[in-house]
Chains A and B, each alone.
Chain A
Amino acid sequence: IILSGPQPWAHEIIMETKEHVFLFLPIVSILLALGLYSINPGLMNEDQVRRAVVVTAALALFMVILMLVMGSVLSNAALTGQGGGS
């Protein structure tokens, strides 16, 4: 539907990017989980450790939002291809 609609780039570029870039998200998420699991109370007092956890969590959030935005673009392209949407 998207490929045959007025926005084929949404499939060729956004869909393909989304399905491949998604592979980075489990790496970041599992890292965050393992990092938090390995932290003991003493380690949490270290400024470097706290900042590293915050940066990683922010990266994970950014990746999730990126997936959301890409999904929205695809949904809109599909709707446009079907004759609706903007």
Chain B
Amino acid sequence: MNHTGIVRFTALFMGAVFSVLLTGCILIAHEISDPLRQVFVSLTGHHWITVSILSGLIFIAFLIFFAYAIRSERIARVMKADRPFMWSVLLVISTLLMTGLVLAVYVLRYNA
């Protein structure tokens, strides 16, 4: 079993899962909070562009973070870095969860 290769491969999924979760939280936060939305508008002129740039930066940051963090055997063991399938399932769950929550925010706002 190519343990090092699997761990490095799984680190990509870890970065993606945390990126989706954080991006989803930012999306919901800026829809709920007008001041935050205005901050985003002031940065680039449009809130969506700001969120898009943030999303990209967050993804890159998490990829780099986990690429280095996973070099620690203790962290790799705790994070179950030898289970890429588990992390891919977590990615599906987190993506669907965030999608559902974003949809829920707009449904609630529409019905308010």
A38 & B103 in contact (Cβ 8 Å cutoff): no
Overall SS of chain A's interface: helix
User: Is residue B43 contacting chain A, with contact meaning CB distance below 8 A?
Assistant: no
Docked complex Cα distance between A39 and B6 (Å): 9
Chain B contacts with A in 21-52, Cβ cutoff 8 A: 23-24, 27, 31, 48, 51-52
Shortest C-beta distance, B64 to chain A (Å), equals 12
B19, B84, B103: which contacts A27 (Cβ < 8 A)?
A: B19
User: Is residue A59 contacting chain B, with contact meaning CB distance below 8 A?
Assistant: yes
Q: Which one of B12, B48, B52, B99 has the highest number of Cβ atoms from chain A below 10 Å of its Cβ?
A: B12
| Residues of A within 8 A of B (CB-CB), count | 34
0/1 interface trace, chain B 68-112, chain A, CB 8 Å (1 if under): 000000000000001111011101100100110011001101100
B9 & A21 in contact (Cβ 8 Å cutoff): no
Give the residues in chain A near B109, CB-CB below 8 Å: 12
A52 & B87 in contact (Cβ 8 Å cutoff): yes
| Residues of B within 8 A of A (CB-CB), count | 42
A19, A23, A66: which contacts B55 (Cβ < 8 A)?
A: A23
Name 18 A/B residue pairs within 8 A (Cβ), A-sorted. A17-B103, A19-B48, A20-B51, A20-B102, A21-B98, A23-B27, A30-B59, A35-B9, A38-B8, A42-B2, A43-B6, A48-B6, A48-B82, A53-B88, A55-B89, A55-B92, A59-B91, A63-B95
Sort A-B residue pairs by CB-CB distance and give the 5 closest, nearest first: A52-B88, A52-B84, A55-B88, A31-B16, A51-B85
If A24-B99, A52-B9, A52-B87 are given as contacts, then 10 extra A-B residue pairs at C-beta distance below 8 Å, sorted by A number, are: A16-B106, A17-B102, A21-B98, A28-B95, A34-B63, A43-B5, A43-B9, A47-B85, A48-B85, A55-B89
